[in-house]
């Protein structure tokens, strides 16, 4: 098990840990019924914090931020010599957490995406993990929620008996969601990105060899160019340039310019 603490990558604090350590922290919090806000950030997620000081504040206030993308893992190795054996990708972490939850008898709640995706995802997870208990599901409304609606979401999750929540709202909305709900729900909240679509079978996943080379983004761009071209063709070069500045010491990135949110966004 590897857990070498948080390290600054372009001002965003990333946890240098492996899958075993991440799962251990999540399941431990679920057993003890205590809050734990977790996300897995690839380059796009890190850059949302670089470009927005309010979002950077949220990310740096989360409990666990895993290095999802290979370029984020490489940054940790390059800057801090962490020697991580692998990245900690949201889709893989999802399956490992669900497997551990099924073994421990901990019910899960699925929040986000569309109703048809949640239905397919629930069937897929139950086939893979026969002892899994899905306490409830709730699709996204794809808009900001009112205060009564936020209270309704909290009540629904609490009353379901769930021990942890998997959140699939897409980056950066899911990170905002777990930041805002983390103290209202005494359980782990895990933002899992595209894991819902991958495991529901509605979106194809890149071959493992592309992922190992850090080129998963190419596969996703080819399959969804209209939605993703700005993310990858603009943000990836910006990330590499800023990382080069940090590595060479030509620019410092710290939390002094983080800006606390003025209020809740409450996208759901």
Q: What is the CATH number of the domain that holds 72?
A: 3.40.50
CB 50 within 8 A of CB 237: no
Residue 105 falls inside a structural domain: yes
Quick one: angle between helices 43-51 and 225-248, nearest 10?
Answer: 70
For 132-166, the pLDDT digits (tens) are 999 999 999 999 999 999 999 999 999 999 999 99
pLDDT of residue 224: 66
CA distance 212 to 215: 8
pLDDT of residue 233: 73
Residue 222 falls inside a structural domain: no
CA distance 185 to 33: 9
Residue 245 falls inside a structural domain: no
Q: How many domains does the chain have?
A: 1
For 28-43, the pLDDT digits (tens) are 999 999 999 999 999 9
> In this model, does residue 210 exceed pLDDT 60?
no
Percent of the chain predicted with pLDDT > 70 = 89
**For the ranges 18-22, 128-132, 250-254, which has the lowest average pLDDT?**
250-254
> In this model, does residue 228 exceed pLDDT 70?
no
> In this model, does residue 168 exceed pLDDT 90?
yes
Residue 18 falls inside a structural domain: yes
pLDDT of residue 181: 96
For 57-112, the pLDDT digits (tens) are 999 999 999 999 899 999 999 999 999 999 999 999 999 999 999 999 999 999 99
Residue 99 falls inside a structural domain: yes
Mean pLDDT of 228-239: 77
Residue 142 falls inside a structural domain: yes
Residue 97 falls inside a structural domain: yes
CA distance 116 to 103: 27
Ranges assigned E (strand) in the chain: 3-9, 12-17, 36-41, 64-67, 108-112, 134-138, 164-168, 188-191
Residue 227 falls inside a structural domain: no
> In this model, does residue 208 exceed pLDDT 80?
no
Question: What is the rounded average pLDDT for all residues in the chain?
Answer: 91
pLDDT band of residue 257 (cuts 50, 70, 90) is confident
What's the pTM?
0.93
Report CA 84 to chain centroid distance, whole Å. Answer: 18
Q: Which residues neighbour 119 within 8 Å (Cβ) at sequence distance 6 or greater?
A: 137
- What is the extent of the structural domain holding 152? 3-206+253-257
Q: Which residues neighbour 179 within 8 Å (Cβ) at sequence distance 6 or greater?
A: 37, 58, 61, 62
């Amino acid at each position: 098990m590897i857990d070498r603490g948080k390290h600054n990558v372009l001002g965003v604090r990333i946890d240098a840990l492996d899958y075993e350590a991440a799962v251990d922290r999540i399941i431990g919090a679920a057993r003890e019924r205590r809050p734990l806000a977790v996300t897995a950030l690839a380059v796009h997620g890190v850059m949302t914090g670089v470009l927005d000081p309010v979002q950077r504040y949220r990310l740096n206030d989360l409990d666990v931020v895993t290095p999802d993308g290979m370029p984020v893992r490489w940054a940790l190795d390059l800057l801090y010599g962490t020697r991580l054996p692998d990245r900690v990708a949201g889709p893989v972490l999802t399956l490992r957490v669900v497997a551990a939850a099924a073994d421990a008898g901990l019910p899960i709640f699925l929040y986000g995406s569309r109703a048809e995706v949640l239905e397919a995802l629930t069937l897929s997870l139950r086939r893979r993990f026969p002892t899994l208990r899905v306490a409830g599901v709730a699709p996204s409304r794809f808009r900001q929620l009112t205060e009564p609606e936020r209270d309704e979401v909290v009540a629904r999750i609490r009353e379901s008996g769930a021990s942890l929540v998997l959140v699939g709202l897409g980056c950066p909305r899911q990170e905002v969601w777990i930041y805002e709900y983390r103290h209202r729900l005494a359980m782990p909240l895990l933002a899992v990105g595209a894991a819902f679509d991958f495991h529901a079978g509605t979106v194809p996943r890149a071959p493992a060899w592309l992922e190992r080379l850090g080129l998963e983004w190419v596969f996703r761009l080819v399959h969804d160019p209209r939605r993703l071209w700005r993310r990858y063709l603009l943000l990836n070069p910006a990330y590499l340039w800023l990382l080069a500045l940090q590595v060479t010491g030509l620019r410092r990135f710290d939390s002094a310019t983080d800006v606390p949110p003025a209020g809740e966004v409450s996208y759901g």
